[in-house]
Structure 1
Amino acid sequence: MRGLLDTHVLLWWLADDKNLSPAHRAVIADPDNELFVSAIVVAEVAIKASLGKLQAPAGLDEAVRQSGFGELPFTAAHAEVLRELPWHHRDPFDRMLVAQAIAERLDLLTADGRLHAYAVTCV
């Protein structure tokens, strides 16, 4: 499987948080899966941490690399998909992740049920 981690899934994985579902834990731990973390996730964490809305580990980019996740930049092609997305969800970070997952044909690892309204496979 090829997948893209939503922000909370990444943070829960890195913190070994009990909120991470057994299904997500199994997918991430499986070395046969090709998993990515978007630059959008790192930006979301940085913005929310700087606003005091989120406790985030320092050196998130290094933690992502050490975890073996691929890095996925946000491209103009992703923005074109974003423009066409229906407004099922208002959060701009989540909308960008959905656009990336659609454009790159990636499953989206998320616990956010609102994202199931989009034409993307949510795990």
Structure 2
Amino acid sequence: MMRVLLDTHVYIWRVSKDRRLPARIRNSIDKAQQVYVSTASIWELSIKSARGKLEPNGERAIDELEAQPFIVLPVQLKHARAVRRMPDLHRDPFDRVLVAQAITEDLEFLTVDGELSDYLADMTPA
């Protein structure tokens, strides 16, 4: 069964039908039996929104999560602990949590960020 976790940008682009969403990622989402969005993504978007640094599609993504056909993945203690074992390849704490969730939950992580892909090659599920 194909289960995927969407990176924050991928989630925004999917909800807004943005052309920047690569066809390979769009196809993976369409084929997946379960598609997850992390509460860490909504947390990140909410912080950017409060600072006035979020584009309208990001605002929409916050407000429409419950209306989307995605499964909300809460951040759990095991995810936070998994971050501790991660090499220091990427500085963004939200991205690190997303990678930890994907690894811990055995989800395919759909991202356009090449630096995050390095984590997935280096880590195995806990």
TM-score, scaled to structure 1: 0.89
Structure 2, unaligned runs of 5 or more: none
* Pairing of 1:37-116 with structure 2 (within 5 A): 37-55=37-55, 56-58=58-60, 60-61=62-63, 63-116=64-117
The alignment covers a number of residue pairs equal to 119
Instruction: Give the number of the structure whose residues are more often helix, by fraction.
Output: 2
Q: Contact 1:3 / 1:108 at 8 angstroms: preserved in 2?
A: yes
Question: What per-residue deviation string (whole Å, max 9, x for no partner) do you get for residues 46-90 of structure 1?
Answer: 0011111112224725x2232210010001111110111000000
2:40 partner letter: I
Q: Percent identity?
A: 42
**RMSD across aligned C-alpha pairs, in angstroms?**
1.7
**Partner residue of 1:3?**
4
In structure 2, the partner of 1:23 is 24
* Alignment gaps of 5+ in structure 1: none
Distance in 1, matches of 2:19 and 2:106, equals 29
